[in-house]
C-alpha cells in the first residue's frame, strides 16, 4: 500500500505467505494471541510493540488500554478483547455466502476468533494511525463492561473527531446504535403447598416479564427492529430456598433502546410493571444516532468511492463503545471497520485479507483529509 511514511511490521516469528504486509502480519499475530475479555494483556503488549517499532510512543494504562496519543484531529479506537471461542487460525478461502467474492481478485481470508469482531478493525486502525500520525487507543472489556471506554472518556479530553472500530464492511459506515439496559429481577415468597391458589415468587417473575414484553410490543408490526425496544430474558433461576421456607426467583433481563427513546423512559416503563419484587439495574448505555452530513462522514464517503465502493450507511440493532463516546463527547463520530458483522462471535469468523487492505486505505485517506 502507498503511504506517506514507512510502516514496519514490528512482528515476531513467521507468518503465512499471504500475510505479507504490516497490517496482515499484525492481524495474524493478534488473532493468534487469545484475548477474551479480562485476558487482553498479551495482545495489548503485542499492539504496544507494533507502535514502538514504528517510532510511536505507546503505553498500557491502568485498566489495560493501549494508548498511542498523537494528532487529535482524529482518534481511532477499537477494542482488544474478543468473546471466547477456539477457531483454528489459518489462511484459506473466504466463504462466498459471507462476502462478495470477485473471481478476478485474491480470495484468501484469515480465519480465527476476532478477525471480524473486532481485531480486524483494530488492526486497520493501528496501521492507519501509524501511517497518518493520528491518535489511537485500543480499549479493553468492550464485550462485557466497556471498562476501557468508560475509563477513556473520564481520563482524557475529547478529540476533534472519533472513529470507533467495529465491522461495517470496508465500504460501510455505522451511524447509529441502540442503547442497552440490563437488570436482574429478584423476588421471594413464603413456601407452601403447590395446591394453594396464591402466586409464588416464580409466578410473580413470569407475570412481571410478560408485562414488560407487552408494554414494549410495537403497535405496528412493520416497525424496523432498530426503532423498537426489544426485550430479552437471558437467565431464569427459581425454586425453594436452601432452608425450604421460601420460594425464590431471579431473572436476568436485557432491553435494547432505540434513539427515539431515552434509557430513563424505558427504565420507568419496565419498573411500572412491578407489583412485587425488585429489579437491580446495571449502569445503562444510551442510544446514539449520528448525522450522515458531518465532515467526518463526508470524508468516509469520498474515500470509499475513491476505492470503487458503493457507500452503505448503517444502523445497528446492538450496542458499541461509540454509544459511550457520543454520550461523553459532543464530537463528530462514526463506527467503521472491515468484516461482515453477521460473523460476529460465529464459529466461522473470518476476514478476507483484501478487505483489510481496503479498510486501511480508506481510514488513512480519511485521517489525512481531516488533519
CATH number assigned to the domain comprising residue 199: 3.30.70.360
Q: 29, 117, 141, 142: which is the annotated catalytic residue?
A: 142
- For 321-354, how does the pLDDT look when each residue is reduced to its tens digit (9 = 90+)? 999 999 999 999 999 999 999 999 999 999 999 9
CATH number of the domain bearing residue 148: 3.40.630.10
Q: 89, exposed or middle or buried, with CB in 10 Å at 0-12, 13-18, 19+?
A: middle
CB 21 within 8 A of CB 128: no
CA angle 366, 287, 299 (to 5 degrees): 10
In terms of domains, do 228 and 272 share one?
yes
Residues 6+ apart with CB under 8 A from 104: none
pLDDT in tens, 288-325: 999 999 999 999 999 999 999 999 999 999 999 999 99
Give the count of domains, the chain: 2
pLDDT at 204 over 50: yes
Query: What is the spatial distance between Cα 43 and Cα 213, in angstroms, rounded to a whole number?
Result: 41
Catalytic pick from 29, 81, 160, 365? 81
User: Using an 8 Å Cβ cutoff, are 120 and 338 in contact?
Assistant: yes
Give the mean pLDDT of 251-262: 97
User: What does the angle CA 288 – CA 292 – CA 298 come to, to the nearest 5 degrees?
Assistant: 135
Among 281, 316, 345, identify where a domain stops: 281
Q: Could you tell me if residue 31 is inside a domain? A: yes
Cα separation, 229 vs 30, in Å, equals 36
**pLDDT value at residue 88:** 96
220 catalytically annotated: no
Q: What is the pLDDT of residue 10?
A: 62
For β-strands 66-68 and 246-257, DSSP reports them as unpaired
Tell me if 234 is assigned to some domain.
yes
Look at residues 247, 266, 281 and tell me which one is the last residue of a structural domain.
Answer: 281
Over its C-alpha atoms, the chain yields an Rg (Å, rounded) of: 23
Nearest by Cα to 36 from 76, 111, 87, 110? 87
When pLDDT is averaged across residues 250-268 and rounded to a whole number, the result is: 97
Asked, for residue 6, whether it belongs to a domain, the answer is no
- Place 114 in a pLDDT band, splitting at 50, 70 and 90: very high
- Is the confidence at residue 78, as pLDDT, over 60? yes
Query: pLDDT-based confidence at 228, cuts 50/70/90?
Result: very high
Residues 297 and 171 in one domain: yes
| Catalytic (active site) residue 57 | no
14 part of a folded domain: no
- Binned at pLDDT 50, 70 and 90, residue 139 comes out as very high
Q: Give the pLDDT band (50/70/90) at residue 7.
A: confident
Grid cell in block for residue 344: 460476529
pLDDT value of residue 164: 98
Per DSSP, what are the bridge partners of residue 238?
249
| Domain assignment present for 5 | no
Helix axes 22-31 and 119-132, enclosed angle (nearest 10): 140
Which residues of 227-342 form beta strands (DSSP E)? Answer: 230-240, 246-257, 278-281, 288-289, 312-316, 333-336
Task: Compute the distance between CA of residue 91 and CA of residue 100 in angstroms, rounded to an integer.
Answer: 18
The verdict on 248 and 314 lying in the same domain is no
Are 183 and 212 in a shared domain?
yes
Domain annotation covers residue 2: no
Same domain, 201 and 167: no
When pLDDT is cut at 50, 70 and 90, the band that residue 12 belongs to is low
pLDDT number for residue 4: 42
For the record, the C-alpha cell of 281 comes out as 439495574
pLDDT per residue as tens digits for the range 34-53 = 999 999 999 999 999 999 99
Exposed / middle / buried, residue 54 (Cβ in 10 Å: 0-12, 13-18, 19+): buried
pLDDT on residue 13: 62
Evaluate whether 185 touches 270 at the Cβ level (below 8 Å): no
| Same-domain status, 84 and 38 | yes
Mean pLDDT of 253-278: 97
Structural domain harbouring 233? 179-281
Contact assessment for residue 18 and residue 24, using Cβ atoms and an 8 Å cutoff: yes
Same domain flag for 153 and 258: no
- Alpha helices by DSSP H, listed for 114-200, are 119-132, 147-155
Strands (E) in 58-159, as ranges, are 59-60, 66-68, 71-79, 90-93, 108-111, 134-139
> Is residue 272 in some structural domain?
yes
Same domain, 270 and 328: no
Residues 105 and 215 in one domain: no
- Are 167 and 297 found together in one domain? yes
In a domain, 152, yes or no: yes
Specify which residues 230 forms β-bridges with.
256
Question: Same structural domain for residues 145 and 126?
Answer: yes
Q: Quick check: helix, strand or coil at residue 73?
A: strand
User: Average pLDDT over the chain, rounded to whole?
Assistant: 94
85 shares its domain with 55: yes
The Cα 152–Cα 288 span in angstroms is: 18
Per-residue model confidence (pLDDT) at position 128: 98
Domain boundary among 240, 259, 281: 281
Is the pLDDT at 278 greater than 50, yes or no?
yes
Amino acid at each position: 500500500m502507498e503511504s506517506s511514511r514507512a510502516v514496519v511490521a514490528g512482528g515476531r516469528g513467521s507468518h503465512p505467505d499471504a500475510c505479507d504486509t504490516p497490517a496482515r502480519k499484525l492481524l495474524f499475530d493478534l488473532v493468534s494471541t487469545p484475548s477474551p475479555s479480562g485476558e487482553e494483556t498479551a495482545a495489548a503488549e503485542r499492539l504496544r510493540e507494533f507502535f514502538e517499532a514504528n517510532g510511536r510512543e505507546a503505553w498500557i494504562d491502568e485498566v489495560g488500554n493501549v494508548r498511542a496519543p498523537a494528532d487529535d484531529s482524529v482518534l481511532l479506537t477499537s477494542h482488544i478483547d474478543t468473546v471466547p471461542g477456539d477457531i483454528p487460525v489459518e489462511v484459506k478461502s473466504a466463504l462466498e455466502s459471507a462476502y462478495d467474492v470477485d473471481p478476478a481478485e485474491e480470495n484468501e481470508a484469515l480465519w480465527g476468533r476476532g478477525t471480524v469482531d473486532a481485531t480486524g478493525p483494530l488492526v486497520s486502525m493501528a496501521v492507519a494511525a501509524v501511517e497518518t500520525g493520528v491518535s489511537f487507543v485500543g480499549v479493553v472489556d468492550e464485550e462485557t463492561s466497556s471498562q476501557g471506554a468508560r475509563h477513556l472518556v473520564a481520563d482524557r479530553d475529547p478529540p476533534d473527531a472519533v472513529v470507533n472500530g467495529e465491522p461495517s464492511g470496508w465500504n460501510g459506515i455505522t451511524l447509529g446504535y441502540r442503547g442497552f439496559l440490563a437488570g436482574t429481577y429478584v423476588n421471594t415468597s413464603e413456601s407452601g403447598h403447590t395446591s394453594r391458589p396464591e402466586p409464588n415468587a416464580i409466578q410473580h417473575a413470569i407475570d412481571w416479564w410478560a408485562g414488560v414484553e407487552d408494554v414494549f410490543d410495537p403497535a405496528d408490526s412493520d416497525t424496523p427492529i432498530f426503532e423498537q425496544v426489544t426485550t430479552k430474558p437471558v437467565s431464569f433461576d427459581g425454586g425453594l430456598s436452601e432452608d425450604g421456607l421460601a420460594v425464590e426467583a431471579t431473572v436476568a433481563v436485557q432491553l435494547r433502546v432505540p434513539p427515539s427513546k431515552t434509557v430513563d423512559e424505558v427504565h420507568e416503563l419496565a419498573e411500572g410493571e412491578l407489583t412485587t419484587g425488585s429489579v437491580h439495574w446495571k449502569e445503562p448505555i444510551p442510544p446514539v444516532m449520528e448525522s450522515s452530513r458531518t465532515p467526518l462522514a463526508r470524508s468516509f464517503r469520498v474515500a470509499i468511492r475513491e476505492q470503487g465502493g458503493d457507500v452503505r450507511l448503517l444502523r445497528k440493532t446492538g450496542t458499541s463503545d461509540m454509544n459511550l463516546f457520543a454520550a461523553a463527547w459532543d464530537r463528530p463520530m462514526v463506527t467503521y471497520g472491515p468484516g461482515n458483522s453477521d460473523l460476529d462471535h460465529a464459529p466461522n469468523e473470518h476476514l478476507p485479507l483484501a478487505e483489510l487492505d481496503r479498510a486501511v486505505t480508506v481510514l488513512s485517506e480519511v485521517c489525512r483529509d481531516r488533519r
